[in-house]
Amino acid sequence: MESPNSISKIERCSGLSEKEFYNKFVKNSVPVVVTDKAKWASSEKFTPEFFKANYNHLKRTINGKTYTLSEIIDLCMASTPENKAPYPNIFDLNNDFPEYVDVIPKIVYGKSNRLFSPLLLNVFAKRTNQRQLFFGGKGCSFPTLHIDYLGVHTQLTQIIGEKDFILYSPDQTPCFYPDKVLRNQSPVNILDPDYSKYPLFKNAKAIKTTLKPGETLFIPSGWWHTTYIHNFNLTYAIDHVNSYNWNTFMDEIYLSARQNHPKLAWMIKGYKVVLGKTFDVKETLLN
């Protein structure tokens, strides 16, 4: 297995067992595209027409303007690089599309997803245990180069259209001049970098993959990434915490608490150890 900083392309795999997936990619912090786990994405319920006919009551406010779901879909379908649709358009599966919750299976990166465990306090899980749908249009891209919040793993399945994902390994973090407050975000515009302000970015080495309908991309904890969309687009996303990134997840929560609730922050260190061991024991009992 290559080390993360030596990867030049993202492997595409099919027929992986959960054990193979975890041992080869999760434990080694290596992204991968899984090509055969999302047959559900071809359902007739995942079409613009179905969404517009059944969910036009949903609304989102983007950049100060409120749109219905039909308006968002129409803008995304008409989007061009010169006249881009508003983005990102994010909807929560559990709250907005509850009928889809059982349609979309979860790919497990270990023996459990700790974000969805009743053992994890909701105050820690609520910002990361969502299952989301992203609508987008041609020319749209994610606003910033970033690491996903709290060091979670991320699973993204392409349902409609194609989307480029540009990734950078964690060891390259100094090249991206992370924000001192929002440490998971970079000020560098990778499409038009200002090398006078960010000279180290010249040393950054990206790997790119184009995700197609029915394919799932696994982005490990700590990997920098952003996106570019080629056409009308729908993507499903779910975050994940397991034994591999548990400490990272809880350490990020601790740092946030130390800034906002310093008197309570010390409790999180103990909670991390005790609950981590509880999860470990529970997961050893799973087949």
Where does the pLDDT of residue 151 fall: very low under 50, low under 70, confident under 90, or very high at 90 and above? very high
In this predicted structure, the answer to whether residue 4 has a pLDDT above a threshold of 70 is no
In this predicted structure, the answer to whether residue 5 has a pLDDT above a threshold of 60 is no
pLDDT digits (tens, 9 = 90+) for 216-226: 999 999 999 99
Distances, alpha carbon 127 to alpha carbons 122, 164, 165, 219, 278, in Å: 9, 25, 23, 18, 22
Give the Cα separation of 11 and 25 in Å (integer).
10
For the chain, the maximum distance between any two Cα atoms, rounded to a whole number of angstroms, is: 55
Contact 155, 216 (CB under 8 A): yes
Give the Cα separation of 107 and 197 in Å (integer).
40
Walk me through the domains of the chain, giving residue ranges and CATH numbers.
4-243 (2.60.120.650)
Q: In a 10 Å sphere around its CB, with 0-12 CB exposed, 13-18 middle and 19+ buried, how is residue 224 labelled?
A: buried
Dihedral class, residue 88 (left if φ above 0, else alpha if ψ from -120 to 50, else beta): beta
DSSP SS3 for 273:
helix
Contact 177, 145 (CB under 8 A): no
Q: Residue 62 corresponds to which tokens in the numbers above?
A: 């983007």
pLDDT digits (tens, 9 = 90+) for 16-58: 888 888 889 999 999 999 999 888 888 888 999 999 999 999 9
- pLDDT cut 70: percent of the chain above it: 97
Lowest mean per-residue pLDDT among 1-10, 37-46, 71-80, 87-96: 1-10
What local confidence, expressed as pLDDT, does residue 42 receive? Answer: 87
